[in-house]
C-alpha cells in the first residue's frame, strides 16, 4: 500500500522494551498523519524505529510530507485500528516533500 503522510512529531526514546535475558531497548517514534489515500485521510499512526534516525532524516522533520510504501501485513491495522503502531522495518520512504528519494536505514 502506498500512502502519503505528514510527520507531526519525532519522539526520542518513546518506547521501552525489556527482554527476558535482562537486556532492554529503546525505540524512537515518528508520529504521522495520513493525507492519502482519501479514505484514510486524517488517520494518525506511529512508526517505531529500531535505529535512531540521524539529524536531517525525513522521519525527524516535522511537517515533512512522506510518500510511503507500507508492507501488506500492516494494511488491516491502517484500515481498522485507531491506535496504530508500526515498525519501520515494514515501511519504505519512496519520496519526501523536497523531492529527494530516501531509503529507510
pLDDT tens digits, 35-51: 999 999 999 999 999 88
CA 69 to chain centre: 11
CATH code that applies to domain 2-96? 2.40.50
Asked if residue 11 has a cis previous peptide bond (ω within 30° of 0), the answer is no
Instruction: Identify the band that residue 78 occupies on the pLDDT scale cut at 50, 70 and 90.
Output: confident
Cα(68)–Cα(79) distance, integer angstroms: 15
Domain ranges, ordered by start, for the chain: 2-96
Strands in 65-70's sheet, in edge-to-edge order, are 84-87, 44-49, 24-36, 2-18, 65-70, 91-96
Amino acid at each position: 500500500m502506498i500512502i502519503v503522510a505528514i510527520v507531526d512529531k519525532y519522539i526520542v526514546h518513546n518506547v521501552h522494551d525489556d527482554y527476558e535475558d535482562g537486556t532492554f531497548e529503546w525505540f524512537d517514534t515518528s508520529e504521522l498523519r495520513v493525507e492519502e489515500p482519501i479514505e484514510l485521510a486524517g488517520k494518525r499512526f506511529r512508526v517505531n524505529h529500531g535505529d535512531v534516525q540521524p539529524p536531517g532524516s525525513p522521519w525527524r522533520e516535522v511537517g515533512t510530507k512522506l510518500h510511503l510504501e507500507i508492507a501488506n501485513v500492516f494494511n488491516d491495522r491502517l484500515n481498522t485500528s485507531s491506535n496504530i503502531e508500526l515498525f519501520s522495518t515494514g515501511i519504505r520512504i519512496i519520496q519526501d516533500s523536497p523531492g529527494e528519494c530516501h531509503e529507510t536505514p
